[in-house]
Structure 1
Amino acid sequence: MTAPITASDEVARICQDLLRIDTSNFGDDSGPGERVAAEYVAELLTDVGLDVEVFESRPGRTSVVTRLEGTDPSRPALVLHGHTDVVPAQAGDWSVDPFGGEEIDGLLWGRGAVDMKDMDAMILSVVRQYVREGRKPARDVVVAMFADEEAGGVHGAQWAVRHRPELFEGATEAISEVGGFSVEVGGRRAYLLQTAEKGLAWLRLIADGRAGHGSAVNHDNAVTALAEAVARVGRHSWPYTLTPTVERLLRGVADLTGLPFDAEDPASIDTLVRALGPAAPFVGATVRHTANPTQLAAGYKANVIPGRAEASVDVRLLPGYEDEGMATLRELVGPDVRIEPIHQDVALEVPFSGSLVDAMVDALTAEDPGSVVLPYTLSGGTDNKSLSRLGITGYGFAPLRLPADLDFVSMFHGVDERVPVDALRFGTRVLDRLLATC
């Protein structure tokens, strides 16, 4: 008699299949879109008898949603969501084909192995196992695989929230990416559960001046005005500001390491951040606002002074301090350069408490006894921003038990993304426990 297929059995195959589908998102609709991946996801779900909604915000920008009935339909539903698009990859920078989905020494390699086709595969394999076995989660679960997250979700989660809100009817909480992975802190394994994320502001800085010949004296040079503003923004040292989530994380690190914690001392904060090892770059960007110039454009000829110059700036704002951060940015830019939004979205912060958090912590510690779970703030953003417009509280929880020497965080949008197969199997067991109890 053939043993039944489990989520642990098929999670690696599903992840490999997804990695081999190029869903590069260049942010301008020039990529392949998510249609092929969405059709693959829909096939996996219909294969076990689920009804799915496949919809497009525009040709090729495809999302998939289904719903599992829970044992207690009176409870609010949970949204379990991922995204199928990935940031582009330059093949020449990689050790392997970024869309080859190769397994090497127990790790799956490919663009999206970390962000976030690993979690997509865990979700899909666990959902398939539940349905095959005739089990029901503790409450209704809306499963969504969105398009376009890597460009702010305009053609994915944002579109779905605006045009198909009925798909999320009754949902009050959500789980998605960039949380639940492990790091070593003070000799203990700690899992970072994402309970906050910084606000997003991609901004265009524009300077207008007087066009003219490059040999002339020109005191109204748009390039000069813009360059000065960009330099002020890029060199600004933002003060440390600890939000409740970050403070609780650092206190937890202090408890694990024995290091002192002083919220007023930047040196103390920096020491505790460094104690997080490979996760330090993520956390270090959440103790203050950040504003990084990313693009410049001006002129068309070396001897012509242009009448206009532009720059792009990626601004990430701490939850609860968005207005303060934008006010400082306007001061830095100055009166001669105007600011236009390219894309903006909200900051989020929710308590590290409640029944869902308890269930996530219990599921992790049941599979990894002796570990601890700490909250943290994501310096980037997720589709939880879009779902928050429906009053849905979102968490980052893609549970992975990782080797201490794997620099997992650096692979987000980096080269040679890879994830251990054992970590994927661990994640399926945690998610299985979670859906049964949350």
Structure 2
Amino acid sequence: MKRAPALLITAALAVQSLPAAAQTPPARPDRVAFRELYRELIETNTTSSVGNCTTAAEQIATRLRAAGFSDKELVLYVPPGRARDGGLVATWVGSDAKLPAMLLLAHIDVVEAKREDWVREPFKLIEEGGFFYARGTSDDKAQAAIFSDSLIRLRAAGYKPRRTIKLALTCGEEGSNPNVLNGARWLVENRPELLKAGFALNEGGGGRTAPGGGPETLGVQVSQKSPRNYILEVTNPGGHSSVPLPDNAIYRLAAAILKVGAVQFPVHLNPVSQAYLAKAGALRKDAVGTAMRTLAATPSDADAARALSADPAMNALLRTTCVATLLDGGHAANALPQRATAGINCRIVPGETPDETRATIAAAIADPQVKVLPSKIQERPVAVTPPLDPAILKPIETVGAKHFPGIPVIPTQSTGATDATYLSQIGVPTYGIPGLWNDGSSGTHGLNERMSADALYRGRDYIHDLIQTYAAG
């Protein structure tokens, strides 16, 4: 996952609970077994550089077999020529063929982590101060472990689902260069029948830790922005640096970058972002909450939009954004630059297109000598927002009321991107479920990634019950 959902509630909520770091969940036998599964998955390096997703998938398959799954129910796939990029799809056929299947989707690859940068060993699970530390503890091995563990527990207990349950553990979700193969994409293009389902549960939900501990909200990711990358390129003949010329590729590029930085796309809400503003705004008793509710009711309200846009995270929720992320120019210290380039990363809201975004950038720059080119990065499909389906949302609310009384369920729109974009290509509506919340300093994609032990264990119980609720029909 590229970024956590925009759950932007900062007001204190009346949640009576001990701080997460002070809670030590009891050593239930099932939690001991789960922790071992989680540890093994965490300590199996699955980075794209030197890691091995195939090994991790095989480890989970071994555990599923021990619980009673047959080889016929398990598909360990390895894309041709990609020995380290394998994954696993498990299919547990339900008793009612009329009920559409449920797909549990999680990625088992992780972002790179350098030992010299981390306080602790990044590929060793360390429990400290109420948190689990290691690369992948939150993104996305917690959910992968919980999904796998739930199927193991249910099969071992003799459970009989009415609805068919599928589990897909894929590699390459974190890839952002042409050398990384996305497993979800490969399955969609080569083995779509393995993923075909009535709906899918995915990463991207969660929520933030309340001031007193526990979840502040139960976020359900329903929509997400679509990432697109563009290259600004300026070329000219160059020359010797001892004779500077007014037409300098770096200067021209710098001027173009500043113009991109000044672009503010219009507010573009959809049913999900409007629902988020209305429900999250109702929890706040300050001016921001008022602005959220106002904009939800009247998206054209300029004053409310202006007030919310002052917050970077809220601004990212309201509109398409583009930002310079890469810069390169020149070929020698004593030569005028012949080429200068900048990478522009855009996050496009549902309802707008990459072509429209590129045209807006070009219009803002208004310089024919600055080319706006598509990046060579293998882009995801444009995100398709699934419906706010009561059949999906109601169980989330019902099970949530049991595990987290009084905590509201709020639809969210992620400013990042997940593999839900690929599932939409085969007609599978995908929802990022809640249960695994964080305190805003989880270190996802960064240093010292961590997951609250309280969130992990309580979220595991919640997700396990949620899976059973859907599986029952």
Structure 2 partner of 1:277 = none
- What SS does the aligned partner of 1:348 have? coil
Q: After TM superposition, which residue ranges in structure 1, 4 or more long, deviate above 6 angstroms?
A: 185-188, 270-274
Q: Which residue of 2 aligns with 1:83?
A: 107
CA contact (8 A) 1:68 1:136 kept: no
Cα distance between partner residues in 2 of 1:196 and 1:179: 10
Alpha-carbon distance in structure 2 between the residues aligned to 1:13 and 1:230 = 49
The amino acid across from 2:141 in the alignment is: K
SS at match of 1:415: coil
Q: 8 Å contact 2:104–2:167 — kept in the other structure? A: yes
Counterparts of 1:72 and 1:328, CA distance in 2? 51
- Which one of the candidate residues 385, 393, 407 is aligned to 1:357? 393
Partners of 2:304 and 2:34 lie apart in 1 by 41
What one-letter code is carried by the residue in structure 1 that aligns with 2:198?
T
Which digits, 9 at most, give the CA deviation of each residue in 1:130-150, with x for residues without a partner?
A: 111111334112101111000
Code of the aligned partner of 2:440: D
- For the 8 Å contact 2:168–2:195, the answer to whether it is kept is no
Partner of residue 39 from structure 1, selected from 46, 51, 58: 58
CA distance in 1, matches of 2:270, 2:385: 9
Aligned equivalent of 1:343, options 378, 386, 393: 378
Query: 1:237 corresponds to which residue?
Result: 264
Q: Distance in 2 between matches of 1:143 and 1:299?
A: 49
> Partners of 1:401 and 1:183 in 2: how far apart?
6
Structure 2 letter corresponding to 1:203: Y
CA deviation after TM superposition for structure 1 residue 357, in Å: 1.8
- In the alignment, structure 1 residue 436 sits paired with structure 2 residue 468: yes
Is contact 2:108-2:169 (8 Å) kept?
yes
- Give the superposed CA RMSD: 2.7
Q: Deviations over 1:34-90 (max 9, x none)?
A: 232222222222222323212223231111111112232221111101111111123
CA contact under 8 A between 1:203 and 1:339: conserved in structure 2?
yes
Alignment CA distance shift 1:273-1:252 (3 Å): farther
Amino acid at match of 1:20: E
- What residue in structure 2 maps to residue 407 of structure 1? 440
Residues 353-391 of structure 1 show CA distances to partners (whole Å, capped at 9, x for unaligned) of 321221122222221121110011111100111111101
Change (3 A) 1:371 1:14: same
**Which residue in the other structure is 2:204 paired with?**
178
Amino acid corresponding to residue 209 of structure 1 in structure 2 = N
Task: Report how far residue 281 of structure 1 moved.
Answer: 6.3
Q: Tell me which residue corresponds to 2:448.
A: 416
| 1:291 to partner: Cα distance | 1.2
SS state of the match for residue 195, structure 1?
strand
Contact 1:192–1:375 (Cα < 8 Å) also in 2: yes
CA contact (8 A) 2:250 2:337 kept: yes
**Is contact 1:297–1:311 with CA below 8 Å preserved after alignment?**
yes
* Matches of 2:412 and 2:268, distance apart in 1: 14
Q: Is the Cα contact below 8 Å between 1:84 and 1:145 reproduced in 2?
A: yes
Matched length? 420
How far the C-alpha of 1:6 sits from its partner, in A, is 6.5
Q: How does 1:105-124 map to 2 (within 5 A)?
A: 105-124=129-148
Of 193, 202, 216, 1:166 maps to 193
> Structure 1 residue 370 and structure 2 residue 389: aligned?
no
Q: What CA distance in whole angstroms lies between the structure 1 residues aligned with 2:305 and 2:63?
A: 46
Secondary structure of 2:216's partner? strand
For residue 357 of structure 2, the aligned residue among 304, 309, 325 is 325
2:149 to 125, 131, 134: 125
Query: Structure 1 residues 9 and 344 mapped into 2: Cα distance closer, same or farther (>3 Å)?
Result: same
Distance 1:281 1:120 in 2: 31
Structure 2 partner of 1:155:
182
Structure 2 length as normaliser, TM-score? Answer: 0.81
Taking the aligned partners of 1:60 and 1:147, their CA distance within structure 2 comes to 9
Instruction: Verify the 8 A CA contact 1:14 1:121 in the aligned structure 2.
Output: yes
Tell me, in whole angstroms, the C-alpha distance in 1 between the residues paired with 2:417 and 2:423. 12
What secondary structure sits across from 1:75 in the alignment?
coil
Tell me the distance in 1 between the aligned counterparts of 2:313 and 2:220: 13
When normalised by structure 1's length, the TM-score is: 0.87
* Cα drift, residue 425 of structure 1: 2.0
Letter in structure 2 aligned against 1:227? A
| 1:273 shift after superposition | 9.1
Q: Which stretch shifts more, 38-47 or 368-377?
A: 38-47
Code of the aligned partner of 1:419: M
Seen in structure 2, the aligned counterparts of structure 1 residues 186 and 286 have a Cα distance that, compared at 3 Å, is farther
Q: Which moved more, 1:356-365 or 1:143-152?
A: 356-365
- Separation (CA, whole Å) in 2 of partners of 1:331 and 1:272: 26
Match of 1:54 among 76, 83, 90: 76
Q: Is the 8 A contact 1:196 1:245 kept in 2?
A: yes
* 2:10 is the counterpart of 1:10: no
Where structure 1 has 5 or more consecutive residues not aligned to the other structure, the ranges are 275-279
CA distance 1:243–1:122, shift in 2 (3 Å): same
Provide the C-alpha distance between the structure 1 equivalents of 2:95 and 2:202, rounded to a whole number of angstroms.
22
Q: Is the 8 A contact 1:147 1:155 kept in 2?
A: yes
- 1:283-338 Cα deviation digits (max 9, x unpaired): 54221211121112222211122332222221100001235433312323443213
Q: Distance in 1 between matches of 2:456 and 2:312?
A: 24
1:365 aligned partner, one-letter code: A
Map 1:277-292; keep pairs closer than 5 Å: 283-292=314-323
Moved more, 206-215 or 383-392: 206-215
Residue 300 of structure 1: SS of its match in structure 2?
Answer: coil
Residues 309-324 of structure 1 correspond to what in structure 2 (within 5 A)? 309-322=340-353, 323-324=355-356
Amino acid at match of 1:56: V
Which moved further from structure 2: 113-122 or 231-240?
231-240
